Amino acid sequence: MTPRATLAGLGLLVLALFAGSLLVGPAPIAPGHGLAALATGADPAAALIMREIRLPRALLALLIGAGLGTAGAALQGYLRNPLAEPGLLGISGTAALGAALALYGGLAAAVPLALPASALAGAALATLLVQALAGSGGGSITLILAGVAVSSLAAALTSLVLNLSPNPFAASEIVYWLLGSLADRSMTHVAIAGPFILAGLALLLTVGRDLDALTLGEDAAASLGITLGRTRALVVLGSALAVGAGVAVAGAIGFVGLVVPHLLRPLTGAMPSRLLPASALGGAALLLAADIAVRLIAPERDLKLGVVTALVGAPFFLWLVWRGRQRLA
**pLDDT value of position 147:** 84
151 dihedral zone (left: phi>0; alpha: psi -120 to 50; beta)? alpha
Q: Largest Cα–Cα distance of the chain, in whole Å?
A: 64
Domains detected in the chain: 60-328 (1.10.3470.10)
pLDDT value at 306 more than 80: yes
What residues contact residue 277 under an 8 Å CB cut-off, 6+ apart?
Answer: 7, 70, 205
Q: Are 179 and 304 in contact (CB under 8 A)?
A: yes
Give the span between the Cα atoms of 279 and 208, in whole angstroms.
12
Cα dist from 12 to 172, 282, 285, 294, whole Å: 39, 11, 10, 22
Predicted confidence at residue 286, as pLDDT, reads 94
Check: CB of residue 97 under 8 Å from CB of residue 122.
yes
* The pLDDT of residue 292 is above 80: yes
Is the model's pTM score more than 0.75? yes
Identify which of 62, 63, 88, 84 has the alpha carbon closest to the alpha carbon of residue 73: 84
Q: What is the pLDDT of residues 221-276, one digit of tens each?
A: 777 778 888 888 898 889 888 988 898 888 888 889 888 998 898 888 778 889 99
DSSP string, 270-327: T-HHHHHHHHHHHHHHHHHHHHHHHHHH-TTTT--HHHHHHHHHHHHHHHHHHHHHHH
Task: Label residue 329 by pLDDT band (50, 70, 90).
Answer: low
56 band by pLDDT with thresholds 50, 70 and 90: very high
The per-residue pLDDT for 57 is 93
